[in-house]
């Protein structure tokens, strides 16, 4: 398949993630949407790694996956700490810091 | 073998690739839509699993075999499991996520998504990627492509890169993981002062 | 290259087909069907189920998953290094320049840094499955003379 087809799939994945992030207010669902966006971006990296015939893109995705694991660990820990404190995980209801 | 025969075989291989690709693309996109429109949060976690599997398949289809396996290990075996534990820890009885968004917000978000998608796809179609490739980087290719052709897989090439050009990020990742381990364990602990309860 | 994966894909599809055949078709054909309300209840090792399966999970599961994911990423990062290690050493020996120990030291530092994290979670007790109760000494496992394991478990639940 050509590069264009992969680009379309990757950008659709990113846009679905972005609209999910905007639409859903549950922190866990927002986290899943972030994962979707991250996967879309990683897919672009691999696509262009293949397109240019260079491995650098794949190395970047390797680091992106490590970062995603780190992000998931810290993000979900914070989410659980918030739940323990407030007993809710809705982003709209957690507005104490709003001036 | 005659030229015509080879041509037919090439066509067959092409259509085989196309079928696999579109199957994988559907496997990636359909669950992604499922995450956005579903109401049950556990279903969402399993939709996410489908998307991650689809992306892993696309990596394999692009001959990034080690990345595909890494995706399966870290994302599906690690992050998705962590996410499910997060769901179990934070949702007592309501499995169902309220869709508290107003209708104009939905309309505008969908409209924005569609407009951006159409624009992007249009520009992807309009760009002549092969001419861009030749103009920007003529003959840009390295030994890594050969390993893929030989069937050795990409793990060895990735290892060479990690220990030469990307050695600093490699070491920084270890520090990142250390910080994440300490920080996340600290945040997740019930009473941070005296051990864990 | 891709056709190597095609073998795996075909194997995977056949596996799925086989399991589906077995679970849905063969069972329907062979198994006797008796309707009983007990059969619709949750399976709990032959015991009558108590309460809902949807209770809040213990935090220890999450902490374990957290530690697991960090060290899983470490393992994934070590894999490409392990694949090329011999070639790299041979290359360095042949060239005669550079330190032969360099690839080893690099990864040793990598593991060492993460080892600090392991020591931290170990010392802080995040990896203890049987937790110490507040104000009581930590229970040892396996239980020593005089304290039975059953009592320990009861105390832990209380």
Enumerate neighbours of B (3 or more CB pairs within 8 A).
A, C
Q: Check if the beta carbon of residue B197 is closer than 8 Å to that of residue C131.
A: yes
What is the predicted pLDDT for the residue at B31? 94
In a domain, C136, yes or no: no
What is the predicted pLDDT for the residue at C158? 39
C113 and chain A: CB distance < 8 Å anywhere? no
A76 and chain C: CB distance < 8 Å anywhere? yes
pLDDT in tens, A26-44: 888 899 999 999 999 999 9
Residue B59's domain spans which residues?
3-100
CATH number of the domain that residue B54 is part of = 1.20.120.1200
What is the predicted pLDDT for the residue at B45? 92
Residue from B159, B160, B192 whose CB has the most chain C CBs within 10 Å, to mutate? B159
CA nearest to A58, candidates C132, B68, C92, C110: B68
Radius of gyration of chain C (CA): 26
Q: How many independent structural domains does chain C possess?
A: 1
What is the predicted pLDDT for the residue at C86? 87
> How deeply is C75 buried, as exposed, middle or buried, from its count of CB atoms within 10 A (0-12, 13-18, 19+)?
exposed
ipTM: 0.91
CATH number of the domain that residue C82 is part of = 1.20.58.1610
Mark which residues 11-70 of A lie under 8 Å from B by CB.
11-13, 15-20, 22-26, 28-29, 31-33, 35-36, 39, 42-43, 46-47, 49-56, 58-59, 61-63, 65-70
Mean pLDDT, 10 residues at a time, over chain A (99 residues)?
A: 86 91 86 94 92 86 94 92 81 72
Q: Check if the beta carbon of residue B2 is closer than 8 Å to that of residue B59.
A: no
Task: Give me the residue from C72, C113, C125 closest to B175, CB to CB.
Answer: C113
In a domain, B191, yes or no: no
In a domain, C145, yes or no: no
In a domain, B87, yes or no: yes
A9 vs A18: CA distance, rounded Å:
14
What is the predicted pLDDT for the residue at B174? 94
Name chain C contacts of B196, Cβ cutoff 8 Å. 59, 63, 124-126, 128, 131
Q: Do B29 and A9 touch (CB under 8 A)?
A: yes
Q: Give per-residue burial for B100-120: e unless 16+ CB within 10 Å, then b.
A: eeeeeeeeebeeebeeebeeb
In a domain, C55, yes or no: yes
Give C22's DSSP letter: I
CA count, 13 A, side-chain hemisphere, C18:
6
Name chain C contacts of A77, Cβ cutoff 8 Å. 66
Q: Do B181 and C109 touch (CB under 8 A)?
A: no
- Domain A3-87 - what CATH class? mainly alpha
Please count the residues of chain C.
158
CA nearest to C100, candidates C84, C109, C89: C89
| φ/ψ of residue B95, rounded to 5 | -70, -20
In a domain, B164, yes or no: no
Q: How many independent structural domains does chain B possess?
A: 1
Residue C85's domain spans which residues?
13-131
- Per residue of chain C (158 residues), give pLDDT as tens: 566 677 777 888 899 899 888 888 888 888 887 777 777 777 767 676 666 656 666 788 888 899 999 999 999 999 999 988 888 888 888 887 777 888 888 899 999 999 999 999 988 887 777 765 544 555 555 555 554 444 444 444 43
What is the predicted pLDDT for the residue at B13? 64
- Per residue of chain B (197 residues), give pLDDT as tens: 344 444 556 666 668 788 889 999 999 999 999 998 888 888 899 999 999 999 999 998 888 889 999 999 999 999 999 999 888 888 655 566 665 567 777 888 888 888 998 998 888 888 777 666 655 554 455 554 555 555 567 888 888 888 888 999 999 999 999 999 999 999 888 755 544 44
Q: What angle do CA C75, B188, B77 make, to 5 degrees?
A: 35
Q: Check if the beta carbon of residue A15 is closer than 8 Å to that of residue A36.
A: no
In a domain, C98, yes or no: yes
B78 vs B57: CA distance, rounded Å:
18
Ramachandran region, residue C57 (left: φ > 0; alpha: ψ -120 to 50; beta: rest): beta
Spell out the SS3 assignment of A10-77.
Answer: HHHHHHHHHHHHHHCCEHHHHHHHHHHHHHHHHHHHHHHHHHHCCCHHHHHHHHHHHHHHHHHHHHHH
In a domain, B145, yes or no: no
A84 vs B91: CA distance, rounded Å:
11
Q: Do B177 and C117 touch (CB under 8 A)?
A: yes
Residue ranges in B151-166 assigned as alpha helix (H): 155-162
- The alpha carbon torsion through C104, C109, C111, C115 (nearest 10 deg) reads 150
B79 and chain C: CB distance < 8 Å anywhere? yes
Query: Å from C72 to nearest chain A CA?
Result: 9
């Amino acid at each position: 398949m050509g590069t264009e087809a992969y680009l379309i799939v990757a950008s659709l994945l990113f846009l679905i993630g972005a609209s999910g992030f905007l639409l859903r207010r549950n922190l866990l669902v927002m986290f899943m949407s972030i994962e979707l966006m991250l996967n879309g971006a990683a897919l672009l990296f691999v696509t262009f790694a293949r397109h240019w015939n260079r491995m650098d893109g794949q190395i970047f995705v390797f680091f992106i996956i490590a970062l995603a694991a780190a992000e998931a660990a810290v993000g979900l820990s914070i989410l659980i700490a918030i739940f323990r404190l407030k007993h809710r995980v809705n982003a709209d209801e957690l507005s104490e810091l709003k001036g | 073998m005659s030229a015509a025969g080879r041509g037919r075989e090439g066509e067959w291989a092409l259509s085989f690739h196309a079928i696999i690709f579109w199957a994988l693309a559907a496997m990636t996109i359909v669950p992604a839509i499922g995450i956005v429109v579903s109401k049950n949060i556990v279903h969402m976690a399993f939709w996410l699993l489908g998307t991650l599997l689809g992306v892993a398949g696309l990596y394999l289809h692009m001959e990034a075999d080690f990345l595909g396996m890494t995706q399966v290990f870290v994302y599906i075996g690690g992050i998705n499991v962590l996410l499910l534990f997060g769901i179990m820890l934070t949702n007592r009885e309501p499995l169902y996520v309220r869709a508290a968004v107003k209708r104009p917000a939905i309309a505008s978000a969908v409209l924005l998504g569609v407009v951006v998608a159409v624009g992007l796809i249009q520009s992807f179609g309009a760009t002549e990627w092969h001419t861009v490739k030749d103009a920007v980087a003529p003959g840009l290719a390295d030994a890594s492509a050969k390993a893929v052709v030989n069937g050795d897989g990409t793990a060895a090439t990735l290892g060479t890169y990690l220990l030469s050009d990307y050695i600093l990020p490699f070491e920084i990742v270890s520090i990142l993981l250390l910080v994440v381990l300490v920080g996340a364990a600290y945040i997740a602990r019930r009473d941070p002062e005296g051990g864990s309860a | 290259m891709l056709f190597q994966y095609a073998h795996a894909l075909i194997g995977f599809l056949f596996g799925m087909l086989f399991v589906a055949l077995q679970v849905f078709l063969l069972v329907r054909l062979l198994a006797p069907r008796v309707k009983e309300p007990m059969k619709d209840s949750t399976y709990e090792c032959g015991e009558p189920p108590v309460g809902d399966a949807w209770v809040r999970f213990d935090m220890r599961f999450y902490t374990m998953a957290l530690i697991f994911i960090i060290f899983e990423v470490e393992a994934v990062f070590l894999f490409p290094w392990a694949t090329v290690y011999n070639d790299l050493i041979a290359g360095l020996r042949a060239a005669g320049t550079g330190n032969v120990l360099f690839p080893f030291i690099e990864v040793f530092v990598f593991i060492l840094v993460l080892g600090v994290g392991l020591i931290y979670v170990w010392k802080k007790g995040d990896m203890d499955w049987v937790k110490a109760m507040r104000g009581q000494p930590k229970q040892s496992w396996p239980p020593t003379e005089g304290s039975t394991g059953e009592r320990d478990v009861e105390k832990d639940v209380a």
